[in-house]
Amino acid sequence: MTSPAPTEADLAAWRTKLDALRAAIGRAIVGQTDVVEQLLVALLAGGHALLEGVPGLGKTLLVRTLGQALDLDFRRIQFTPDLMPGDILGTELLEEEHGTGRRQFRFQEGPVFTHLLLADELNRTPPRTQAALLEAMQERTVSHAGVTRALPAPFFVLATQNPIEQAGTWPLPEAQLDRFLLHVMLDYPGEAEELAILAQTTGAPGAAVPQVMNASDLIALQALVREVHVGDALLRWINRLVRATRSGDEAPEIVRENVRWGAGPRAGQSLVLTAKARALMHGRLAATREDVAALAAPVLRHRLVLSFAAESARIGADAVVAGLLRAIPAPER
């Protein structure tokens, strides 16, 4: 039995809640409107996000504020070279029953059993530990000693990596980077925003972040995202964009000269879903080319393997994506 199509009144009610969510986050986070929107898009689309930025830009505060506004559990893991998979997923403890002396194993859940997980500096932990988290992200379950345990719903991982200090790190392989729906770049604030941060964070504590939504609301929104319409012409454009990232005779010149390996089919799925989520956030039940163009870079930048020539010329993935958008014309409205 299919659920009834959402009405204009339903859409207006959700738009009001999403606007309130943005306002609640704005009480603690100054500026970073694009970053906030992209994280909310990832959350509504049911995916995970990789956030890259230098220390001190408020990544932890952003995720904690999101958890408070949504009334979701929040945990943070600081990834280090000695972190083991059991430190994330959980482990079995041998306990002795009081009175009888009987011993039995009990599974102690790890910090991954939460709604919002901040995986801080994921590239500072060895591949074995990285893979354990990424498997939990993909399957949304944890298997231990033959028992599979479901993670809470909703489940969202925000992993960060520091772009400055790369010595002694284990960069994520391309196949594992592909598990992230979006790669969000966090830059320094503007002058006016930084002045507001100084004024807001050095005085008396501000008002608490209000709860405007809950887990049930978020799950309902994730289901609604799937109902957003994507026209055939827009779907074909998305498919052409993703296929054009793969080097070949028919690829645009900017791809042939700068890309060794292009994006796989999961990139197309991600671009469709995130375009739907952004459309819903803006009060629409149909995605547009503007939604796709706004999310092309965060969807594709971590899925492109650039050539040595591109790295030598300091041509980044965003420049390649911008060239793609120019080379592959968007459909008419």
* Spatial distance between the Cα atoms of 66 and 193, rounded to a whole number of angstroms: 20
Helix %, strand %, coil % of the chain (to 5):
45, 15, 40
Distance between the two ends of the chain, CA-based, in angstroms? Answer: 33
Residues 285 and 6: beta-carbon distance below 8 Å: yes
Quote the pLDDT of residue 64. 85
Q: What number of other Cβ atoms are within 10 A of residue 229's Cβ?
A: 11
Q: What is the pLDDT of residues 52-74, one digit of tens each?
A: 877 777 788 888 888 888 888 98
- Report which of residues 324 and 202 the model is more confident about: 324
Residues 149 and 142: beta-carbon distance below 8 Å: yes
Q: What is the pLDDT of residues 183-226, one digit of tens each?
A: 998 888 888 888 888 888 777 776 678 888 889 999 999 999 99
Enumerate the domain spans of the chain.
1-227, 228-333
Superfamily assignment of 228-333 in CATH? Magnesium chelatase subunit I, C-Terminal domain (1.10.8.80)
1-227 and 228-333 have identical folds:
no
* Spatial distance between the Cα atoms of 185 and 86, rounded to a whole number of angstroms: 30
- The fold for domain 1-227 equals Rossmann fold (3.40.50)
Quote the pLDDT of residue 197. 82
